[in-house]
Amino acid sequence: MQLYKNQTLKVHNSLSGKKEVFQPINEGHIGMYVCGPTVYSNVHLGNCRTFMSFDMIFRYFKHLGFKVRYVRNITDAGHLENDADDGEDKIAKKAKLEQIEPMEVVQRYTVDFHNTLQKFNFLPPSIEPTATGHIIEQIEIIKEILEKGYAYEANGSVYFDVLKFNESNEYGKLSGRKLEDMIANTRELTAQDEKRNPQDFALWKKAEPQHIMRWPSPWGDGFPGWHLECTAMSTKYLGETFDIHGGGMDLKFPHHECEIAQAEASKGKSPVKYWLHANMLTLNGKKMSKSTGNNIYPSEIFTGENDILSKAYAPSAVRFFMMQAHYTSILDLSDDALLASEKGYNRLMDGMENLKNLSTGTKSDFDINTWRQKCYDAMNDDFNTPILIAHLFDAVKHINLIKEGNESISEEDKTLLLNTLNTFVYDVIGLENQSTVKDDSNALNGVMDLLIELRNQARANKDFATSDQIRDKLTALGIQLKDGKDGTSFSIN
């Protein structure tokens, strides 16, 4: 029997602002769409946090036995500067700056995105569609919205008519904004404006002659508005109404609000049952962001090459740091916080290693079944990973007591404890045991220092037979010694 049948999962639905019991539209199946990156630069750790939150959610659903179709798109066109309807396309702008084709920009940063996610041990989504691969679908939705009377054409562009839509629907229901307030707080339109009112947003934009990324359409050459791609791709792969739509909090408005409007205007129904929003990673108390430069890149964390970092951190230690906060809470990144998380991560890994070697007794002082259900309860409470981690540490505390001979565990419970820890630590929160890698490199450095010292002593004693033997044997193993004025170093081929 599937695990989900015994567990009651609750999720925080941004649409109702409440925690709700999760019941998928089709029993046993989940359709989940998460807005992917706009691939015009390397992903920073803030972006990684949001995708990691949904990777953990995807992992837990799979663990519970659901059949999940997880769609995470790549935005490779249509996202304009400042998330607005005017300005340059972010990708086209970068292409001009680097003097390469827009699709070279897309390729470069999509590869970076995949490499980074792989280092963090992400599971790949089921489908990863691109905006440029779905222009026809986007044009079809615009036609439907025009037919229903919720959009209008102006000078080769098509805009969504927010005021018209709001007469029969509720624009602002996801973000909690009121259309009257939005109207009161925006400037008047000028005579040159194509929009009927400032709240309207672009479904299709006419391409000026210099705009490189362009496609033919019934309204002339142009490109789709940013919000439209997600409506087109989620509908195509998950249907007109699907279970979960996710993204960072900053996408709630206007992006997700506009997605709801587009879907309701074209299909006449609400597209998503549960809207899930992940909170921001901050640095120095401010949101990490590509545009302000207040950010840290994963490559900097893995090498320690950033002024705020005292050292390099393994991807799993960083993942553990992220999982120690609830996905809906703001999390601030600092070297102190990373050091503390790394310590906790090592303690967890050591605890799991120690468990394997524990000798067992006839009874258990630790009620594994109750503890195990507490782990599920934490995850069932809107994926509460910090509470889950507190329970994992509780298990480590008992493992240490058993190791010291102050408690005992039966063979059967030891197996159950090990299986449960493996499930939550590796399958659900997605950590890997990277402490052995770190220890190996420390040990190798120590052995190499010793060999270099012995070789130096042999040379000082004019025992060249021994010094040559050390160098030649190392060369045969693929390790090169290099003598320089600051001493001897080594490299591995």
Single-letter residue type at 364: S
Instruction: Determine if 287 is a binding residue for ligand AMP (CB under 6 A).
Output: yes
Does 280 interact with ligand AMP (rule: CB under 6 A)?
Answer: yes
Smallest gap from residue 42 Cβ to Zn ion (A): 20
Please, are residues 271 and 240 in contact by the beta-carbon 8 Å criterion? yes
Query: Considering the rule CB under 6 A, would residue 254 count as an interface residue with ligand AMP?
Result: no
The two tokens of residue 107 are: 């390729």
Q: Using the rule CB under 5 A, is 230 a contact of Zn ion?
A: yes
Using CB under 5 A as the binding rule, whether residue 35 contacts Zn ion is answered as: yes
Measured from the CB of residue 233, what is the shortest distance to Zn ion in angstroms? Answer: 9
CB 168 within 8 A of CB 261: no
Q: Residue 22 and residue 382: Cα distance in Å, rounded?
A: 10
One residue of 224, 247, 254, 315 binding ligand AMP per CB under 6 A: 247
Return the amino acid letter for 265.
Answer: A
276 interacts with Zn ion by CB under 5 A? no
Residue 58's closest CA among 69, 73, 42? 69
Size of the site for ligand AMP (CB under 6 A): 16
Cβ closer to ligand AMP: 248 or 271?
248
Using CA atoms, how far apart are residues 404 and 401, in angstroms rounded to an integer? 5
Cβ proximity to Zn ion, 246 vs 315, nearer residue: 246
Does position 288 interact with ligand AMP (CB under 6 A)? The reply is: yes
Residue 241 or residue 334: which is nearer to Zn ion going by CB?
241
Q: Angle 488-491-493 (CA atoms, 0-180°, nearest 5)?
A: 150
Least distance between ligand AMP and beta carbon 277 (Å): 8
Amino acid letter, 89 = D
Q: What would the two tokens of residue 339 be?
A: 């050091």
Cα–Cα distance for residue pair 309/448, rounded to 1 Å: 27
Minimum distance between the CB of residue 230 and Zn ion, rounded to whole angstroms?
Answer: 3
Q: Check residue 379 for interaction with ligand AMP (CB under 6 A).
A: no
Picked from Zn ion, ligand AMP, none, the partner binding residue 71 (CB below 5 to 8 A depending on kind) is: none
Contacts of 293 (CB under 8 A, 6+ apart): none
Question: Does position 35 bind ligand AMP by CB under 6 A?
Answer: yes
State the residue number with the nearest CB to ligand AMP: 248
Asked if 260 interacts with Zn ion (CB under 5 A), we say no
**Residue type at position 324:** Q
* 37 near ligand AMP (CB under 6 A): yes
Give Cα separations from 286 to 44, 47, 107, 292, 457 (angstroms). Answer: 14, 14, 30, 10, 55
What phi and psi values does residue 278 have, to the nearest 5 degrees? -90, 145
Partner from Zn ion, ligand AMP, none binding residue 139, C-beta < 5-8 Å depending on class = none
How many other β-carbons are positioned within 10 Å of the β-carbon of residue 221? 14
Residue with smaller CB distance to Zn ion, 223 or 424: 223
Is 38 a residue that touches ligand AMP (CB under 6 A)? yes
> How many whole angstroms separate alpha carbon 104 and alpha carbon 110?
10
38 binds, among ligand AMP, Zn ion, none (CB under 5 to 8 A by kind): ligand AMP
List the single partner that 266 binds among Zn ion, ligand AMP, none, CB under 5 to 8 Å by kind.
none
Q: Read off φ and ψ for residue 401, nearest 5 degrees.
A: -65, -40
Which of the listed partners (Zn ion, ligand AMP, none) does 49 bind, with a CB threshold of 5 to 8 Å by partner kind?
ligand AMP
Number of other residues whose CB lies within 10 A of the CB of residue 19: 12
Burial class (CB in 10 A: 0-12, 13-18, 19+), 281: buried
225: contact with ligand AMP by CB under 6 A: no
Q: Say which entry of ligand AMP, Zn ion, none residue 67 contacts (CB below 5 to 8 A, set by partner kind).
A: none
Q: Which residues bind ligand AMP (CB under 6 A)?
A: 35, 37-38, 46-47, 49-50, 247-248, 250-251, 280-281, 287-289
Residues forming contacts to Zn ion in the complex (CB under 5 A) are 35, 230
